[in-house]
Amino acid sequence: MTKPVRVRYAPSPTGLLHIGGARTALFNYLLARKNNGSFIVRFEDTDQTRHMESGIDSQLNGLRWLGINWDESVDIGGPYGPYRQMERLDLYRPLVDQLVQEDKSYPCYCTESDLEKERAEQEERGEMPMYSGKCRNLTLEQRTQFEAEGRKPSIRFKVPRDRVIQFVDKVRGEVEFETNGIGDFIIMRPDGIPTYNFVVVVDDYMMKMSTVIRAEEHLTNTPRQIMIYEALGQELPEFAHLSLILNPNRKKMSKRDASLIQFIDQYNELGYMPEAVVNFIVLIGWSPVGEEEFFTMDELIEQFDLDRVLKSPAVFDMDKLNWMSNHYIKKAPLLRVVELALPHLQKEGLLPAELDEATRDWAVKLIGLYQEQLRFGADIVSLSEMFFSEGFTMEEEGEAVMQEEQVPAVLRSFLAQVEASETFEAADIQPLIKKVQAETGTKGKGLFMPIRVGLTGQVHGRDLNMTIHLLGKEKVIARLQKALA
Ligand code: GLU
C-alpha cells in the first residue's frame, strides 16, 4: 500500500507571498488535490531575526486570493499541530538531547571569533571554509571548564565521514553528495532554538509528509536532512526540488528586479484575475501534455503531475503573463471586470468613491468599451485618460488626418448635428454621422477619421459611437469647436 499523499508549503514568515513561494504552494496543492491527499501550510519561524509577525497573515491571504486552500494550518489547526515551529520547541528539544546522548551530536563551545579565525585560516590555505569539528572530541573536563566559564554551547550534528548520500529527486533524478564536503552543522543555537535543517526533518516526519516539494535552493540542505532522518531512525519522504526562476535576461530572478511584479499582493492590487495568475504560475516549470495553455484550477488538479515538472530553469516572462491575463479578462463577464477596474478610476480620483447610478452605468460602459484591451484592472486608467481630461494628446498620424481638405466641412456639419440632437445614446450617434455624410458627400475614412481624431487625438480606438456617447455632448461640442478654431 502506498502512503497517503501529504504535502506541505512551509514558508518562513518573512514577508509577502512571493511568486516563487506561490509556485511551490501551488504545485504541492495540486498534487494533494489530485491524489485526494492533504495540503498543509506550516510556518518555519525559528529564525527570529528574519521573522515578521504579519508574515503569517500575508502568506495565508495570498494563498487564499489565488484560490489555494489548505487542510491543516495555524488558523484551522489539524491533527499534527501546532503548525508554527516556535510553538513546537518542546517537541524538538528532547530529540536534540537524544542525539547528544547517542553521540550523534555534540556541544560546541566555539565563539564567533574562534570560528572566524578558523575560516580565515582555511581560506588562506585555499580550503573550502567548513567547521573543523574541533569540539567533537572535547573531554568531559574541557566541557565542564567551558561551562564553568559561562559559555553557552550550540549543538552540532556529527556528520559521518567518508560517506556518499544518495537520493532520487522526483525532478532532478539521482543526486549525490559527499559527506566530506559537509561540516558538522549546528542543529540548536546557544539560545536553545533549533535550526531549520533539524526542525524541518522533525516536522516532516511527525506530520507524516509523503513528499517534500520545495525550491531548488534547498537541494544542498537535503543531504544534511537525510543524515538527520537516519540519526533519528525515521523513514525518508520523497523529495522534489523545483528549478530556479530566471528573469528575462536569464539571470536568477532577484526580489529587486523592478521590471517584474513578484508579490501576489501586487497582482491583487493591480486588478489581475487570480485564475490568470494561477494559470501563469503553473507554467513556470510545469509543462502540460498537449498544446493547450489555458487551464482552470480543476483542470490543473486533473492534469498536474510531478513527472512533467521541468528540470531546467524557467523564465519569468511578464509579457506572457499580461497576454494570458488579457485573455482571461476578455472572456470574463463584464461585471467581474468592472470589479477589477473601477476601483482604480476611483483611486486616481477620476471618479468619486460614492457613485450615483448614472455615473456607475457610465463607468460600466466605459470599462466595457476597453475590456478587450485590458491586461489588468489598473490598465483602465491610462487607456481611458482622455475621457476625464479637457483635452487629449494628438498622435502624429492624427495631425496628418486633420490636414485633409474635407475636414472643416465634416467637423462643422457634425458639430451642428450634435448641437441639435436631443438624445445622445450610443445608438443615436450613427444617424448623426449619416446626416453629415448626406450633407457633405464624404464617406468612409474621410468621414470617420476626422471625427475620431478631432475628438480623441487617435487614429485607432474603440467603437466610435460608444466613444462619442461616453464623452458626452458637452465634451464633444467643446472638442469639435477647438478642432475648428
Ligand atoms: N522555510 C523554507 C523556506 O521558506 C522552506 C523549507 C522547506 O520547504 O523545506 O524557504
How many domains does the structure of the chain reveal?
4
Mean pLDDT of 410-426: 97
- Residue whose CA is at the smallest distance from ligand 1 atom 2: 11
What integer is the mean pLDDT of 346-357?
97
The span from the CA of 119 to the CA of 41, in Å, is 37
pLDDT digits (tens, 9 = 90+) for 244-258: 999 888 888 888 888
Residue 285 CA to its chain's centroid (Å): 14
Residue 168's φ and ψ, nearest 5 degrees, are -105, 115
Rounded distance, CA 344 to CA 385, Å? 12
Residue of the CA atom closest to atom 10 of ligand 1: 11
**205 vs 96: CA distance, rounded Å:** 15
Residue 255 catalytic? yes
Residue 153 has what pLDDT?
A: 97
Neighbouring residues of 67: CB distance < 8 A, sequence distance ≥ 6: 274, 275, 278, 297
CA neighbor of 64 nearest in space, from 80, 52, 76, 46: 76
The verdict on the CB of residue 18 being under 6 Å from ligand 1 is: no
| Mutational test site, ligand 1, from 196, 204, 225, 236, max ligand atoms within 8 Å of CB | 196
Sheet holding 238-242, edge to edge: 173-178, 164-169, 238-242, 211-215
Specify the ligand 1 atom closest to the Cα of 225: 9
Same domain, 213 and 311: no
Whether residue 336 is predicted with pLDDT greater than 90 in this model: the reply is yes
Question: Ligand 1 center to residue 269 CA distance, Å?
Answer: 26
**Is the distance from the beta carbon of residue 44 to the nearest atom of ligand 1 less than 6 Å?**
yes
Are 228 and 182 contained in the same domain? yes
The grid coordinates of residue 118 equal 578558523
**Is residue 26 in a domain?**
yes
Which candidate, 362, 368, 295, 318, places its Cα nearest to that of 338? 368
**Residues 98 and 165 grouped into a single domain:** yes
102 and 237 both lie in a single domain: yes
Q: What is the position in ligand 1's atom list of the atom closest to the CA of 9?
A: 8
pLDDT score for 447 = 96
Q: Is the CB of 242 under 6 A from ligand 1?
A: no
CATH of the domain at 399: 1.10.10.350
List 117, 252, 255, 347, catalytic entry: 255
Distance of alpha carbon 396 from alpha carbon 275, whole angstroms = 39
Is residue 60 domain-shared with residue 96, that is, in the same domain?
Answer: no
Q: Is 214 in the pocket of ligand 1 (CB under 6 A)?
A: yes
CA angle at residue 325 from 321 to 328, to 5 degrees?
145
Are 260 and 307 found together in one domain? yes
The pLDDT of 34-47, averaged and rounded, is: 95
pTM for this model (two decimals): 0.94
Residues 250 and 235 in one domain: no
Give the per-residue pLDDT at 54.
83
Query: How far is residue 112's CA from residue 118's CA, in Å, rounded to a whole number?
Result: 10
Residue bearing the CA closest to ligand 1, atom 6? 10
Q: Which residue has the cell 470574463?
A: 332
pLDDT score of 1: 56
Nearest CA to ligand 1 atom 3: 11
Per-residue confidence band for 216, with pLDDT thresholds at 50, 70 and 90: very high
Answer yes or no: is 170 within a domain.
yes
* Pairwise CA distance, residues 240 & 396, whole Å: 55
User: Residue 459 is placed in which grid cell?
Assistant: 487614429
Q: Measured from the CB, is residue 8 less than 6 Å from ligand 1?
A: no
Residue 15, phi-psi category: left (phi > 0), alpha (psi -120 to 50), beta (remainder): left
SS3 state at 258 = coil
Does residue 15 lie within any of the structural domains? yes
Domain with 352, as residue range(s), is 334-376
Ligand 1 atom, smallest distance to 24 CA: 8
How does the average pLDDT of the chain come out, rounded?
A: 95
3-state secondary structure of 120: helix
For the segment 53-67, the average pLDDT, to the nearest whole number, is 93
Q: Is the CB of 5 under 6 A from ligand 1?
A: no
Question: Quick check: is 384 in a domain?
Answer: no
Within this chain, do residues 109 and 212 fall inside the same structural domain, yes or no? Answer: yes
Ligand 1 proximity of 11 Cβ (cutoff 6 Å) = yes
* Angle 217-220-224 from CA coordinates, rounded to 5°: 130
Share of the chain above pLDDT 90, in %: 92
Of the three residues 196, 212, 242, the one that is the final residue of a domain is 242
Dihedral of alpha carbons 283, 288, 294, 296, sign: negative
Of 1-5, 248-252, 345-349, 457-461, give the lowest mean pLDDT range: 1-5
Identity at 401, one-letter amino acid code:
V
Q: Tell me, yes or no, whether 58 and 137 share the same domain.
A: no
Q: Are 28 and 239 in contact (CB under 8 A)?
A: no
Kindly state the cell numbers that stand for 26. Answer: 501551488
Q: Are residues 400 and 372 in the same domain?
A: no
Q: Write the pLDDT tens digit of every residue in 271-317.
A: 999 999 999 999 999 999 999 999 999 999 999 999 999 999 999 99
Report the atom number in ligand 1 closest to the C-alpha of 204.
9
pLDDT: is 11 or 259 the higher one?
11
Looking at the domain assignment, is residue 383 inside a domain? no
Look at residue 483 and tell me whether its pLDDT is greater than 80: yes
Distance 10 CA to ligand 1 centre (A): 5
Residues 238 and 251 in one domain: no
Is the C-beta atom of 241 inside 6 A of ligand 1?
no
Is 397 within the bounds of a domain? yes
Write down the pLDDT at residue 51: 66
Q: pLDDT for 380-401, tens place per residue?
A: 999 999 999 998 999 999 999 9
Q: Are both 350 and 272 inside the same structural domain?
A: no
> What does the pLDDT look like over 318-330, one tens digit per residue?
999 999 999 999 9
